[in-house]
A and B are shown apart, each in its own frame.
Chain A
Amino acid sequence: MDNELFMNTELPPPSEMAMHFEQPSSSSAMLNWGLMDPNLARNSPPQDCFMWEKSTEQQQSIFDSALSSLVSSPTPSNSNFSGGGGDGFIIRELIGKLGIIGNTSGDIYGAPMNGNVSRSASCYATPMSSPPPMMNRTAPLTEFSGDPGFAERAAKFSCFGSRSFNGRTNSGIPVNNGKIVNSGKLTRVSSTPALKALASPMIPAGDSPPKLPGEFSRKRKSVSKGKSKDNPLPVASPSPSFSKTAERKEVSEEKGGKRRREDEGEEEEGNNKGGNDTKPPEPPKDYIHVRARRGQATDSHSLAERVRREKIGERMKLLQDLVPGCNKVTGKALMLDEIINYVQSLQRQVEFLSMKLSSVNDTRLEFNVDALVSKDAMISSSGSRVHESGLQLESLSHHNYNNNSQLHTNVSSNNMMLHSPMKSLEPSALARGFTHLPTLTQFTDTISQYQMFSEEDLQSIVGMGVAHNPNHESQSQNMKIEL
C-alpha cells in the first residue's frame, strides 16, 4: 500500500519528465542534502499548483537524477535513516529524495494529485526519520520553521513514512489522549519529534508516543464516524488546510481494507442507533424496531428474516415446554417432528377414546351422561332437602322420560336451590346426587349454571355413580314397575 502510494507519486513525474525533458540541471547537486536545505528554505509554500507547471522542466531533470540515484545505489543518506522499520525505510528514502527534488524546484507537488503526498514528502526529507537523525537535522529543521506548511507536511509525511498509513497526524503534536493504538505506529511516532522540534525543540521524544497514537486513534474514529470529514486540528499549528484536507482525503482513500471494514462495521452500528449487538428490543409500538447486529447485513429483507426466525424460535421454546420429552431434542427440524408426532398421537387418542365411548352400552352411556350432568347440578346441594327433591325428580324422570315440561319445571325449581356455583364436591352428596336423573334437556340447563367438576371430581362422581348405579337402577326400575 505504501509502495503503491509512492509508485503513484513517482509515475506521473516521470511521464511528465519524458514529455518535458530538457537539459538536466545540476542533478548531482540534488543528492547533496546540504544543498537541498537552502533550496528548501527558499521554496515557497507547496500549495502552489502553478509552480508545478513553471518548474516542471527543472524538476523533471531533478526527478530523473534523483530517481536514478535512488535506483542505482543506496545513497549515503541511508545512514541518516536509522530509525523505522525496514519497510518504511526504503519508502522514506524515496520520499525524501522526491521531497528534496520537489523542494529545490519550488513546489512541484502543488498538483492536486497523488503528488500531494509527494509534496509533503518533498518538504520533509529530513524530518521523516527517527529521533537520532532528527538530532542531526535540527539545524536544517530550523529552517523549516519559517514555513508553517512544512510543519504540517512533515507531520503528515511522518505518518507516510511509517509502515502503515493508518491515520494521519494532525501535525498537531501535543495531542494527549493517553490512548495507544495497537497498530505499528511507532515509526510514525518517532517522527513526530521532528515536528516538535519545529514547534518547540525541547519536546522530549517520550511524549509523542502516547499522544500521537491517541491522536491517530481519535482521528480514525472521527473519520469512521463521518467519512473524510475535516476535523479541526486540535493543535494550533497553522497549517494550510488545503494540503491537509487533500492529504486526509487521500489517506482516507488509501486506508487499508481492514480499517475500512472496521469502519464499516462501526458505521453500520452507528447507522443503527449505536453499536449494540444485543437483541432487538420490541417496544410497544406498531412497528418492531430491530437493530442490526454487528457484522450482519442491514438489508431490510434480512432484518425481517431475522425477526421472523426469532419469533419462530420463541414459539418453539413454548412448544418445547408443552410437548413432553422434547428437552433432549435440539434443532428446529427434530423439534418440529416431535411436535407433529405428539399432535398425531393426541388425535389418535381422541379417536380411540371415542371408539371406546361408542362401544359403551348405549343406555349406560346415556344414563351416565345424564347422571353426571345432574350430579354436577346437585353437587352444590348441601342438604337432604335437595336430595329428596332430587329423588322425586328421579322417579319422575324415569317415568316421564319424554315429558320434558313437567320435569323441566321441577328441575328449574331445583335449580334455584342449587344456584350457588359449586367448587367443592361432597362424596356423600355425590353419591346421593348420582341417583337423580333428570332428563337430558334439563341437564344442559342446569349444567350451564354451574362450574364443572375437575378430573378427580369427575372420576369420583363416576365411580360413585357406577358403584351406586345398579342399586339405584334397580330401584328406579322397581319404581317404574310400581308406578
Chain B
Amino acid sequence: MASAYNPIYTDVPEKDVFALHFLQTLSNLRTQNSFSSPDNKTSDRVKKIKKAAYVSMARAAGATNRLWSRSLLHQAAKRNNKNVRFLRRKRRVTWLMRRRSNRGDPIEDVAAERLRNLVPGGGGMETSKLMEETAHYIKCLSMQVKVMQCLVDGLSPK
C-alpha cells in the first residue's frame, strides 16, 4: 500500500523500531526487578511484560500522534503513579456531543461501542475517527506481535 495515496494516514514504522522499543522497555523492566529476588509470581511478570509490550508499542508507533497510544501511555503512567510526560489535555467529546453527531444506524453503533471498548482511548471518538484509530492500532498490534513472536522463538529453549 506504499504506492497508493491514502488520505488517511496509517503508516507504522518498521519492525525494528518496535523491536527496539520493546527491548528497551524490557531492559528497563529488568533493571527495575533484576536485582530484587525474583519472587514475583508468574502473573505479575506476565502483566509487567504485557504492559511493557503495550507501552513500547505505543512509543514505537508515534506516541503522541495517535489517540490510542496517548491514552495507553496515560493509563500506564497512571498505574505506575509516574509523572505523566505527555500531559496534554485533549478535549474529550462528551456523550451528548457524540450522541448528536452519531445519529447513525443502531447496527453500526453497537459494533462501534464494542470497538471503543477494545481500542484504548476510543471512548471519546467519533465513529469515523475511531475507525482510523482502529486501523492504525491493528497495524501496530500486528507488528508488535511479530516482534514478540520472533523473540520468543529465538529465546525459547532449543
B95-119 contacts to A, CB under 8 A, are 101, 103-105, 107-108, 110-112, 114-115, 118-119
Judged by a CB distance under 8 angstroms, whether B78 is at the interface is: no
Query: In the bound complex, do residue A343 and residue B154 qualify as a contact, i.e. CB atoms below 8 Å apart?
Result: no
A326-358 contacts to B, CB under 8 A, are 332-333, 336-337, 339-340, 342-344, 346-347, 349-351, 353-358
Interface 9-residue window, one of A89-97, A158-166, A209-217, A450-458: A450-458
Judged by a CB distance under 8 angstroms, whether A113 is at the interface is: no
Chain B residues within 8 Å of A314, by CB: 8
Write the A437-477 contact mask toward B (1 if CB under 8 angstroms, else 0): 00011011001100111110111011101100000000000
Bound Cα distance A355, B152 (Å): 10
Query: In the bound complex, do residue B155 and residue A336 qualify as a contact, i.e. CB atoms below 8 Å apart?
Result: no
Bound Cα distance A38, B59 (Å): 101
Query: In the bound complex, do residue A455 and residue B105 qualify as a contact, i.e. CB atoms below 8 Å apart?
Result: no
Take A358-B45, A369-B23, A452-B16 as given contacts and tell me if A350 and B50 are in contact as well, using a CB distance cutoff of 8 Å.
yes
Query: In the bound complex, do residue A447 and residue B23 qualify as a contact, i.e. CB atoms below 8 Å apart?
Result: yes
Write the A288-323 contact mask toward B (1 if CB under 8 angstroms, else 0): 000000000000000001001101101110110111
Judged by a CB distance under 8 angstroms, whether A373 is at the interface is: yes
Judged by a CB distance under 8 angstroms, whether B31 is at the interface is: yes
Chain B residues within 8 Å of A457, by CB: 16
Chain B residues within 8 Å of A316, by CB: 131
Judged by a CB distance under 8 angstroms, whether A251 is at the interface is: no
Smallest Cβ-Cβ distance to B45: which chain A residue: A358
Out of B31, B127, B142, B151, name the residue touching A357 (CB < 8 Å).
B151
Write the B115-150 contact mask toward A (1 if CB under 8 angstroms, else 0): 100110000000110011011011101101111111
Take A440-B31, A454-B15 as given contacts and tell me if A336 and B138 are in contact as well, using a CB distance cutoff of 8 Å.
no
Chain B residues within 8 Å of A351, by CB: 46, 50
Query: In the bound complex, do residue A458 and residue B1 qualify as a contact, i.e. CB atoms below 8 Å apart?
Result: no
B3–chain A nearest beta-carbon distance, Å: 13
How many chain B residues touch A (CB < 8 A): the figure is: 66
Take A453-B19, A458-B19 as given contacts and tell me if A354 and B105 are in contact as well, using a CB distance cutoff of 8 Å.
no
Query: In the bound complex, do residue A369 and residue B131 qualify as a contact, i.e. CB atoms below 8 Å apart?
Result: no
Residue from A309, A311, A358 having most chain B Cβ neighbours under 10 A: A358
Query: In the bound complex, do residue A455 and residue B146 qualify as a contact, i.e. CB atoms below 8 Å apart?
Result: yes
B74–chain A nearest beta-carbon distance, Å: 18
Judged by a CB distance under 8 angstroms, whether B76 is at the interface is: no
Query: In the bound complex, do residue B155 and residue A462 qualify as a contact, i.e. CB atoms below 8 Å apart?
Result: yes
Residue from A342, A353, A376 having most chain B Cβ neighbours under 10 A: A353
Chain A residues within 8 Å of B15, by CB: 452, 454-455, 458
Smallest Cβ-Cβ distance to B20: which chain A residue: A452
How many chain A residues touch B (CB < 8 A): the figure is: 65
Out of B45, B48, B141, name the residue touching A346 (CB < 8 Å).
B141
Query: In the bound complex, do residue B128 and residue A462 qualify as a contact, i.e. CB atoms below 8 Å apart?
Result: no
B11-49 contacts to A, CB under 8 A, are 14-17, 19-20, 23-24, 26-27, 30-31, 34, 38, 42, 45-46, 48-49
Smallest Cβ-Cβ distance to A372: which chain B residue: B23
Chain A residues within 8 Å of B139, by CB: 322
Query: In the bound complex, do residue B23 and residue A462 qualify as a contact, i.e. CB atoms below 8 Å apart?
Result: no
A-B CB contact pairs (8 Å), 9 listed:
A314-B8, A315-B135, A336-B108, A351-B46, A353-B149, A366-B34, A455-B146, A462-B151, A463-B154
Sorted from nearest, which 4 A-B pairs have the closest CB atoms?
A: A462-B154, A452-B16, A336-B111, A315-B131
Which B residues form the contact surface with A (CB < 8 A)?
1, 6, 8, 10, 14-17, 19-20, 23-24, 26-27, 30-31, 34, 38, 42, 45-46, 48-50, 52-54, 101, 103-105, 107-108, 110-112, 114-115, 118-119, 127-128, 131-132, 134-135, 137-139, 141-142, 144-158
